[in-house]
Amino acid sequence: MYPKLVLLLLPFLLCPLLTFSSDPDPLQDFCIPTPKSNPEPCKNPRLVTPDDFIFSGIKSPAINFSDIGFFSIPVNPTTFPGLNTLGMSFVRADLRPGGINPPHFHPRATETVYVLQGKVYSGFVDSTNRVFAEVIEQGDVMIFPRGLVHFQMNVGKSDATIFGCFDSQNPGMQKIPNVMFGSGINDELLEKAFGLSIEEISRMRRRFLPKRVN
């Protein structure tokens, strides 16, 4: 009787583990990292100050935009140690009029975006290739489910600013154009997949392949 009961209950016991997987829960209130030379991974709590939990690096608007009119400042435990072990990170993104944040996805995080200023065409594509997109404005919030491709474009007449928050301290990011044409995938495969000529593929590679540092 008991083995059968266990088998019946097993899916219900496993579901919470699969459904609610995320960054591990911290075992202490916080853990401000110490230098690698220090054998203790966390700063002594008695030496932690309010400044360890304050970050001022996203106050200013972007000055140097990319050629697609986009600039972002990712904030994670590397740049803001106070986030360490808290299971979150965030980003400030600025877009010039007509600027885009190309299609990309975060394999380890759901993202919440809040429009600080401007008017942005924003959306994501689900696993059935259905597009969920709207123009969102100052004060609007949108969710991008984990692992789904999403994008933004400034459709206003002035600069737009977005604040994004992730439910992982290391969400990861893969930009679709860079993945396709900047990763060294076989040319013949790309030619057959996209119906592009070798010349067109070469042109795309020149744009997205990482530049070599001499």
CATH of the domain at 133: 2.60.120.10
CA distance 110 to 150: 11
DSSP code for 211 = P
Could you give the residue ranges of the DSSP H alpha helices within the chain? Answer: 2-19, 176-181, 187-194, 198-208
pTM of the model: 0.80
Domain identity same for 54 and 91? yes
Per-residue model confidence (pLDDT) at position 208: 79
Beta partners for residue 124, in sequence order: 132, 150
Mark residue 121 as left, alpha or beta (left: phi above 0; alpha: psi -120 to 50; beta: remaining): beta
Q: How far is CA 31 from the centre of its chain?
A: 23
> Is 64 annotated as contributing to ligand binding?
no
- In this structure, the answer to whether residues 57 and 103 fall within a common structural domain is yes
Burial (Cβ within 10 Å: 0-12, 13-18, ≥19) of residue 87: middle
200 is in an annotated binding site: no
Q: Is 104 among the annotated ligand-binding positions?
A: yes
Do 56 and 157 belong together in one domain? Answer: yes
- What is the length of the chain? 214
CA atoms within 13 A on the CB side of 154: 23
Assess whether 61 and 162 both reside in one domain: yes
168-210: pLDDT as tens digits: 999 999 999 989 998 889 999 999 999 989 899 988 888 877 6
- Residues 63, 163 within the same domain: yes
Q: What is the largest CA-CA distance in the chain?
A: 70
Cα–Cα distance for residue pair 22/24, rounded to 1 Å: 6
Q: Please tell me whether 111 is known to bind a ligand.
A: yes
For the chain, the first-to-last Cα distance in angstroms comes to 70
Domain count, the chain: 2
Q: Are residues 139 and 57 located together in one domain of the fold?
A: yes
Distance (Å, rounded) from C-alpha 121 to C-alpha 142? 11
Q: What is the pLDDT of residues 101-116, one digit of tens each?
A: 999 999 999 999 999 9
Same domain, 113 and 194: no
Residue 15 lies in a domain: no
The answer to whether 150 is annotated as binding is: yes
23-72, pLDDT tens digit by residue? 777 778 899 998 877 778 899 999 999 999 999 999 988 889 999 999 99
Same domain, 104 and 144: yes
In a domain, 194, yes or no: yes
Q: Say yes or no: 138 and 198 in one domain.
A: no
94 and 186 both lie in a single domain:
no
65 assigned to some structural domain: yes
* DSSP H or E run through 92: strand 89-95
**Residue 115 is part of which domain span?**
45-170
Token readout for 144 is 């991008």
